[in-house]
Structure 1
Amino acid sequence: MTQTSGTAPARTWSSPPGRAFLMLRTLFTVAPILFGLDKFAEVMVDWPIYLAPWVDDLVPGSASDAMYVVGVIEILAGLLVAVAPRIGAYVVAAWLAGIIVNLLTVPDYYDVALRDFGLLVAALALAQLAEAHRPVRR
């Protein structure tokens, strides 16, 4: 980040870190909300196929019922990133860690788990950028 006079970082959207923050904040707001909504519509994919059998055995109801709960959590996580990215980014990262554990126990979805690991790292990068872009209190 560029520096202003003194030690306070310049908070500008025209800087590379500012644009990176904006891109990641937008991604982790929009994607969880869209994926969460799709848990109800199933336009993109038949979501219950991604639920590990051991997880399905732990949760009450059907795999579809579990995906409805997942959808609500994802929508809330996206909204949290929108309003409080310093907290929301860590929530999304933790959520992605849970998804990765689930996917590593479902045969044939290791590639999706690897993709989600990349998203987890990006969410942690957002958390760091959000820390740098927090409002200055006087």
Structure 2
Amino acid sequence: MPTAAVTSTVFARARSGDPAQQAFLLLRTVFTVAPIAFGLDKFLNLLTDWPGYLAPWIDGLVPGTAQQAMYAVGVIEIIAGLLVAARPRWGALVVAAWLAGIIVNLLILGDYFDVALRDFGLLVGALALSRLAAPRRLAAEGEAR
């Protein structure tokens, strides 16, 4: 099926009240928009002072300043969000892996355990999105499971 037909099928199933399809669309939307928004904010520092979240030993590994490292982080997050939009099954796994790295960084810092726990919840949500995306893509394209 062409992409437009697949998209039409996805939205038709969501409108029909399929809870799994609705959950898929909700998670796909959040894991597309949030990484892009947070990635853009790495350039603006409106939400917080992002370089303060970078563990000193990681800052020592990457060239440049902590802010320059955050620019790279922002680019990666924007790409991850776009990947979720285009290929949710695989993009969600990229986001989950990225969140795992963030969690490790935060635990090493030792000051942001609450944020690490929140990010763990997001990681689980990203894994759920990947699982929800797998059968939907196959069903929408008419392939055998």
1:136 Cα deviation (Å)?
2.2
TM-score for both structures, normalised by structure 1: 0.90
Of the three residues 122, 136, 141, the one matched with 1:136 is: 141
Kindly tell me the number of residue pairs found equivalent between the two proteins. Answer: 129
User: Could you list the runs of 4 or more consecutive aligned residues of structure 1 that deviate by over 4 angstroms after TM superposition?
Assistant: none
- Residue by residue, what CA displacement relative to the aligned partner does 1:49-94 show, whole Å, maximum 9, x if unpaired? 0000110010000000000000000000000000100110000000
Of the three residues 18, 21, 42, the one matched with 2:21 is: 18
Which sections of structure 2, spanning at least 5 residues, go unmatched? 1-8
Of the three residues 6, 22, 47, the one matched with 2:50 is: 47
Q: Please provide the CA RMSD for this pair.
A: 1.3
Distance 2:18 2:45 in 1: 38
Distance 1:107 1:100 in 2: 11
- Residue by residue, what CA displacement relative to the aligned partner does 1:20-46 show, whole Å, maximum 9, x if unpaired? 000000000000000000000111110
Query: 1:58 aligned to 2:58?
Result: no
Distance 2:84 2:124 in 1: 15
Which structure features the higher share of helix residues?
2
1:137 Cα deviation (Å)?
3.8
Distance 2:70 2:136 in 1: 34
Trace 1:76-91 onto structure 2 (pairs within 5 A). Answer: 76-91=79-94
Which sections of structure 1, spanning at least 5 residues, go unmatched? 1-9
1:108 Cα deviation (Å)?
1.4
